Amino acid sequence: MKKTVLALSLDIAAFSTSSLANEGFYVGASYSKMSYDAAFVSSNEVTNGYSANGGYDFALGSFFVLGTELEYKNLGSTKESFLNDYYTLSMTSYGINVIPKLYMGDRFYALAKLGFHKINSEVETNVSVNGSSVSDTAFVYGLGLAYDITEHFAI
């Protein structure tokens, strides 16, 4: 089945007890809304997802910061149906991340996220009596750009 996944994630809060490019604790949250295209399905909506994280930034110079964080993600769920059959899939993960940040000016920075997470997925269906759940561990990674709007808020 060919699927194209489009994801939009918006960091809605990132609070810090430190000054820009310095060390200190932080907490953050994000929101995601996804959709996809798949053959033979009636819906392409995924319920809203979110994540929450908290960590500590270690300043390693005036423009480089190394962060460590704990993160929980709820990726939402989707319900598919074909004729009279349906299934519902939902996924969550939690883990630890290392986030190097390279400041390019006073407020703008590039970052990389490298982590190790436990991923849980659950499937409910009317085809079998019992649904199923699967857990696994995986390395996660990502790249991003961010801007410190104030000392305590970044997007």
What's the pLDDT tens digit per position in 34-47?
Answer: 766 666 565 566 77
Nearest to 139 by CA among 111, 112, 122, 114: 114
CA-based end-to-end distance of the chain: 35
Decide if 32 contacts 6 (C-beta within 8 A): no
Decide if 67 contacts 56 (C-beta within 8 A): yes
Decide if 6 contacts 34 (C-beta within 8 A): yes
Beta bridge partners of 1: none
Nearest to 109 by CA among 64, 152, 42, 51: 64
What pLDDT, on a 0 to 100 scale, did the predictor assign at position 149?
87
**Residue 117: count of CB within 10 angstroms of its CB:** 19
- Quickly tell me which residue has 């910061």 as its tokens: 65
What's the pLDDT tens digit per position in 51-85?
Answer: 999 999 999 988 999 999 999 999 888 887 778 88
CA-CA distance, 89 to 5, in Å (whole number)?
A: 15
What pLDDT, on a 0 to 100 scale, did the predictor assign at position 38?
64
DSSP 8-state symbol, 39: T
Chain centre distance of CA 116: 13
Q: Which two tokens stand for residue 68?
A: 């460590």
- 3-class DSSP state of 98: strand
Amino acid occupying residue 138: A
pTM of the model: 0.74
The radius of gyration computed from the CA coordinates of the chain, to the nearest angstrom, equals 19
What pLDDT, on a 0 to 100 scale, did the predictor assign at position 73?
95
